[in-house]
Chain A
């Protein structure tokens, strides 16, 4: 990663978007592709940095303000980096009725973070989500990581803590 700004004298490492280049090639000039581009960018980098938004703007000709507007409208997009494991805690109606609030408390207690935050060691991020569609197994959470998505159902305070402890033990 070297600075791409022409004439730049610094030895800063400006962000490198080579991984995103093929995506841009495919979608940059196709109308209506902004959400798809943002999804792919987030898949690659884990979140949408301001640099990424500016890069997408340069490539597509869409104003950064508009991209920012779209990114903040949809709950899927994140403007901050996330931990290695993203905990998506379902707050759907069935989960609410079956005590998802209690599960949230247990997660917060175990990890010392609240909704939207990342643990200091960068392992976990907690996000409340609307509904994962596994309502008969409420309360439910999905944990996303590089290894794929894992869904856990019929959670109790103890079982959710056990899951988190197991992941943490693997990571340390």
Chain B
């Protein structure tokens, strides 16, 4: 029997370490001989901390939201009494969150201890590497990936086999395999989960890719904001080296391959290949013109291939099960599965891996169980700052590269931020422009100055100073920024603005002409009033920081609109629902 506590970043953030410590303490106190182990992110983030108890017969009982105060009950009933502590067990409905998924990349996440290579090996780990280096040629590996139809999971969706083949075809002895683990899209966290929960699958994917293209060295470029991911990768690499899976003469062959980690320093633009290479070389992460492509001249001017974490995570599975098995999932153009990070105003947030082509509705309502607090679904933002907002009317859109691109958004790295009626779409556009403006490296004028100008216009609109012609000016700037920027950051930065104008033009117009925010979210456009539910308790007037609320005790109060600063304190304070936000 063993107790396994999910300790990805999400789990740790909800107190999983304290839960694990409490289990250890109580098991010791009771004199039980049961080990407490850890695993990575299970993916059902909304149920953290998650504890799995493995009985001796292999049966697993999952307990959810296990805060330290629940531990004693589970220890007494399950560990000592041998009966499941039903109150804390995962419900049948919550079980479907994972049951409805098809897990290839996440196959081991939440099941194995990421800090123990033997657990990975027990699942068939490193068999694919062995098969590749001992019995396949680089061309056969590339062919298998071609058959699988695997496309880059970082955003662009470029065929993986093609990149590997180009790097292989490039002349030169010294070549590099690079993993882009600089998950920069604010709202995507699938790469973090793989790094934290199944680091060996990434390592294996890189070895196989390195073998195919002829690289002997690999670099993993990880964001510094993911300290736990770096920590677990370091452990995994050391263990792999010890077992002889990394280093010289793998599996007794001539092929040698080793890896190192480079911690990024925080720059969104480094998701762009040439910027990432500049950063690896210790420079400012600024993109350069292509060609030459990294496959010809990359890291230290040598042929280099860059793939993202999720892409590599698929590779060992494809080799082990065959490209055709992978291609059996998905649509004609978009093969396999894709991991989505479901977050925002969603009831059940977490990681969802499904075959490509599943309708959006099945992801958001089928798996995510719809909108928090039963509000109305308004839109879903896909592809982060380079993507766009897909409105509720397009909820039946199949999620694959082609169909999502048609809506004006992109699949991107797979972030899905769900929004409800209280989310202002103009504010969303402003938020993303603020992000891209800060993250623009400054090389291209249109991106550097253009995003700033667009942001200024959006800021004006959200504070009620929008003018006739603003929407048209935004559209004109958007087109020019797209045309006038060298890299993907600038070329896609206007997308959130263009899609929100396309689908929510009325909201822009409401802000500009009626000085109203439909979602009641833009502070400057709000008015707070008091209705007849007011019993005159005076609490709001006491809390008001500018004493804008007047009235006698036990009589209805009034808000002086000229003084009100729209901070919303009264609304928070009122226990009778008497404050109306409009």
Check if B226 sits within 8 Å of A130, measured CB to CB.
Answer: no
List 8 A-B residue pairs with CB atoms under 8 Å apart, sorted by A's residue number.
Answer: A35-B282, A39-B263, A73-B285, A97-B344, A98-B344, A131-B188, A133-B9, A136-B342
A40 CA / B70 CA spacing, docked (Å):
41
Residue A145, interface by CB 8 Å: no
Check if B265 sits within 8 Å of A75, measured CB to CB.
Answer: yes
Residue A20, interface by CB 8 Å: no
Nearest B residue (CB) for A75 = B266
Nearest A residue (CB) for B185 = A131
Residue B337, interface by CB 8 Å: no
Interface range for B: 35 or more
A169 CA / B224 CA spacing, docked (Å):
30
A120 CA / B555 CA spacing, docked (Å):
44
A138 CA / B192 CA spacing, docked (Å):
16
Residue A153, interface by CB 8 Å: yes
CB distance from B391 to the nearest CB of A (A): 16
Residue B126, interface by CB 8 Å: no
Check if B9 sits within 8 Å of A32, measured CB to CB.
Answer: no
Taking each of A34, A69, A73, A88, which has the highest tally of chain B beta carbons within 10 Å of its own beta carbon?
A: A73
CB distance from A164 to the nearest CB of B (A): 17
CB distance from A60 to the nearest CB of B (A): 10
Residue A70, interface by CB 8 Å: yes
Q: Which among A36, A75, A149 is the interface contact of B267 at CB below 8 angstroms?
A: A75
Residue B464, interface by CB 8 Å: no
Q: Inside 8 A of A31's CB, which chain B residues have their CB?
A: 281-282, 300
B 1-36 binary contact with A (CB < 8 Å = 1; else 0): 000000001101110000000000000000000000
Residue B45, interface by CB 8 Å: yes
Residue A108, interface by CB 8 Å: no
Binding site for B on A (CB under 8 A): 31-36, 38-39, 69-70, 73-77, 88, 91-94, 96-98, 129-138, 140, 149, 151-154
CB distance from A142 to the nearest CB of B (A): 8
Check if B268 sits within 8 Å of A130, measured CB to CB.
Answer: yes
A73 CA / B267 CA spacing, docked (Å):
8
The number of A-B residue pairs with CB atoms under 8 Å apart is 137
**Which stretch, B400-408, B415-423, B452-460, touches the partner chain A?**
B415-423
Check if A130 sits within 8 Å of B265, measured CB to CB.
Answer: no
Q: Inside 8 A of A138's CB, which chain B residues have their CB?
A: 343-344
Check if A153 sits within 8 Å of B10, measured CB to CB.
Answer: yes
User: With A39-B224, A70-B283, A74-B265 as given contacts, are A130 and B186 in contact (CB-CB < 8 Å)?
Assistant: yes
Q: Inside 8 A of B279's CB, which chain A residues have their CB?
A: 35
In residues 157-196 of chain B, which contact A (Cβ within 8 Å)? 183-189, 192
Residue B381, interface by CB 8 Å: yes
Residue B284, interface by CB 8 Å: yes
Q: Inside 8 A of A39's CB, which chain B residues have their CB?
A: 224, 263, 265
Check if A70 sits within 8 Å of B282, measured CB to CB.
Answer: yes
Check if B343 sits within 8 Å of A136, measured CB to CB.
Answer: yes
User: With A130-B186, A135-B349, A136-B350 as given contacts, are A69 and B266 in contact (CB-CB < 8 Å)?
Assistant: no
Check if B266 sits within 8 Å of A135, measured CB to CB.
Answer: no
In residues 281-340 of chain B, which contact A (Cβ within 8 Å)? 281-285, 300
Check if B343 sits within 8 Å of A94, measured CB to CB.
Answer: yes
A74 CA / B12 CA spacing, docked (Å):
27
A97 CA / B431 CA spacing, docked (Å):
10
Check if B345 sits within 8 Å of A130, measured CB to CB.
Answer: no
CB distance from A167 to the nearest CB of B (A): 16
Taking each of A74, A134, A149, which has the highest tally of chain B beta carbons within 10 Å of its own beta carbon?
A: A134
A61 CA / B345 CA spacing, docked (Å):
51
Q: Inside 8 A of B14's CB, which chain A residues have their CB?
A: 137, 153-154
Binding site for A on B (CB under 8 A): 9-10, 12-14, 45-46, 48, 183-189, 192, 224-227, 262-268, 279-285, 300, 341-345, 349-350, 381, 384, 415, 417, 419, 423, 428, 431-432, 435, 439, 441
CB distance from A36 to the nearest CB of B (A): 7
- In the complex, besides A76-B224, A130-B439, 19 extra interface pairs with C-beta distance below 8 angstroms are A31-B282, A73-B267, A75-B266, A92-B187, A93-B381, A93-B431, A130-B266, A130-B268, A131-B185, A131-B189, A131-B225, A133-B226, A135-B45, A135-B341, A135-B415, A136-B45, A137-B10, A137-B45, A138-B344
Q: Which among B13, B189, B439 is the interface contact of A152 at CB below 8 angstroms?
A: B13
Check if A136 sits within 8 Å of B349, measured CB to CB.
Answer: yes
A52 CA / B250 CA spacing, docked (Å):
42
Check if B265 sits within 8 Å of A76, measured CB to CB.
Answer: yes
User: With A35-B282, A73-B267 as given contacts, are A93 and B10 in contact (CB-CB < 8 Å)?
Assistant: no
Q: Inside 8 A of A130's CB, which chain B residues have their CB?
A: 184, 186, 225, 266, 268, 435, 439
A39 CA / B12 CA spacing, docked (Å):
25
Check if B187 sits within 8 Å of A151, measured CB to CB.
Answer: no
Q: Inside 8 A of B441's CB, which chain A residues have their CB?
A: 73
Q: Inside 8 A of A129's CB, which chain B residues have their CB?
A: 225, 266
Nearest A residue (CB) for B432 = A93
User: With A70-B282, A130-B435, A133-B192 as given contacts, are A35 and B183 in contact (CB-CB < 8 Å)?
Assistant: no
Nearest A residue (CB) for B9 = A134
Q: Inside 8 A of B439's CB, which chain A residues have their CB?
A: 130
A151 CA / B225 CA spacing, docked (Å):
12
The 10 closest A-B pairs by CB, nearest first: A136-B45, A136-B349, A74-B265, A92-B186, A135-B343, A131-B186, A93-B187, A151-B13, A34-B282, A75-B266
Q: Inside 8 A of A92's CB, which chain B residues have their CB?
A: 186-187
Check if A133 sits within 8 Å of B183, measured CB to CB.
Answer: yes
A129 CA / B439 CA spacing, docked (Å):
12
